[in-house]
Amino acid sequence: MLLAEDGHHAAMTTEDSTAPRPKRKLPWWAWGAGAAGTALFIVALIWGPWWIEGHHLKDKNGDLVSSAGIIVTGFRTTLIAIAAGAFTGLGLWYTHKSHQHTERLYGHSQEQFAHARQKDREQAELTREGQVTGRYVEAIKLLSSGDLTQRLGGIYSLERIMKDSVRDRGTVIEVLSAFIRNESRADEGAPPPRPESVQTALTVLGRREVRPGDPELDLQFAHLRGLNLTGGDWSGANFRGADLAGAWFLGANLGGARLQHAILKDAWLTLTVCTEAIFDDADLAGATLTGATGVEEEQLLTAWIGPTTVLPSEFARLQTIGERIGQYGQRHTRSG
């Protein structure tokens, strides 16, 4: 608390030292000098012609010449003009100084206003982050609930946070990915579960807006048999070793996805984007790839394709593909 007060005091001291000071009143000697100057001007105005032009005002007999009035008037006019010019210059100088002072005051007020706005923004950001943190904590509590409705509420709350908070976006993606992996696991010998919450989490991740810097969707070894991933953006996702038998990927984006050793038996990959997807040792027996784009021959030759695999028409008659299908039959025979 003392440190905060000291910092606040230091900030105020700094601001005070940089703030333009109010104009000072003229000192007494300035008023005295002004009065003396005025008196000298009056004396010069009255007696100056006689002191300076006196030899022109009188003749040899000491009488005023006929042009004396003109000479006196001209001298006084000149003196008044000089004084007027001096006062005008002084007025311009004073106006310039006043303008500079006004500009400094305006600049300082603008700085204070900008500083206040920055503080307001920082405070608003802190408040918003605090609210997001509270929402995140509450969503995690719901996600771990044994009640399905509460789990679904937690998933949708995390989706909202993922959209609202750039800072927490990556964390939410990782949390939902971990939730899917953990919730879809099955005990050995038991059928894999298909909880509604896993499907909902998949739907949320699949429809997210993919942005640069997003973490990888880590769904390795997840049991997603028969689940619906239709239309989702799974580009770059890691499905290594995942059980995706009978899963629906209609129109989905699997560009760059890693599907090594994944089980894709009877999966629906119709109209799926498969550009640079990795199918090494993936089981595609019975899978349907009709209309899939970005499929390369090399991808299919590294996967396990069988007689029931429905391939895009351009690959159906290739000799290398036929040989690979034969290898699947031999593998199946040996394993049987």
Per-residue pLDDT of the chain (336 residues), as tens digits, is 433 444 444 444 444 444 555 555 667 676 677 677 777 777 766 666 656 665 566 656 666 666 666 766 777 787 788 878 887 888 888 888 888 888 888 888 888 888 778 777 767 666 666 667 888 999 999 998 889 999 999 999 999 999 988 888 999 999 999 999 998 876 555 555 558 999 999 999 999 999 999 999 999 999 999 999 999 999 999 999 999 999 999 999 999 999 999 999 999 999 999 999 999 999 999 999 999 999 999 999 999 999 999 999 899 889 999 999 988 877 655 555
pTM passes above 0.85: no
Q: Going by CATH, does the domain composed of 216-336 fall within 2.160.20.80?
A: yes
The residues of the chain that CATH labels 2.160.20.80 are 216-336
Question: Are the C-beta atoms of residues 213 and 194 closer than 8 Å to each other?
Answer: no
Question: Are the C-beta atoms of residues 307 and 288 closer than 8 Å to each other?
Answer: no
